Amino acid sequence: MKIEIIPAIDIIDGKCVRLSQGDYQLKTIYNENPLEVAKMFEAVGLKRLHLVDLDGAKAHHIVNQKVLESIAANTNLIIDFGGGLKSDEDLKIAFESGASMVTGGSIAVKSPEIFIRWIKKFGVDKIILGADAKNEMIAVAGWQESTGTDIFTFINNWHSKGIKKIISTDISRDGMLQGAATELYKKILLTVPDAYLIASGGVSSMADILELQNAGIPAVITGKAIYEGRITMDEIREFLN
């Protein structure tokens, strides 16, 4: 089965940016108009979009919902939205602004009772677990804090509570274009074989995506490789056809 390619748009000050290893000091602005970028993705046949509110992640509440609203209103992309979602009100705004799904990472670690409430209130299909790890240990707070919990225990725990969709980022690789952590994802799938695992971080070429596909990983997020021209729209179009 073909792996699902999910392009990423990260937002700071309403602009499309990328960070390296989550460092706000290592920021590159790629486009002043995220809607333009989203339309380019849709035009080649991509169906999904991973939209991250980096201002929201810093502020601990939703900030860039206008960007979400604009992309949702002007494309047919299925958008999963994340970054600083901490309250039921944040989720309400995200869904009303056009998100199909939301991602929660730090909240699942620090306030599991809220995350459980979201699963019950909004439904398991609308909630994605963010499992960001360094050296196989879960990290939170913009990746500044390691939790002492290993990623396999963490994912298994939430999977047992109904979570099916998981975005896992290998922090050491994120934005570094050094290849995906394929071995880590294979180990995660051995733990939860029926999960919809979305690999994130490190993708540098179509060869990396094909390696993940060959390993049986259902989906992959890629951002910087596209913006840096290492994966072209023509390559994506050809892959999708």
Which residues are known catalytic residues? 10, 132
Q: Which long-range contacts (CB under 8 A, 24 or more apart) does 112-121 make?
A: 114/86, 114/87, 114/88, 115/158, 116/161, 117/88, 118/88, 118/91, 119/161, 119/162, 119/163, 121/88
What's the token pair of residue 75?
């494309």
d(Cα 83, Cα 102) in Å, to the nearest integer? Answer: 9
Beta-strand relationship, 219-222 and 196-200:
parallel
Residue whose entry in the numeric block shows the structure tokens 């960007």: 67
d(Cα 145, Cα 195) in Å, to the nearest integer? Answer: 26
d(Cα 133, Cα 99) in Å, to the nearest integer? Answer: 25
> CB count, 10 Å around CB of 147?
16
- Determine contact, residues 133/184, Cβ cutoff 8 Å: yes
C-alpha 8: how far from chain center? 7
Please provide the distance, in angstroms rounded to a whole number, between the alpha carbons at the two ends of the chain: 13
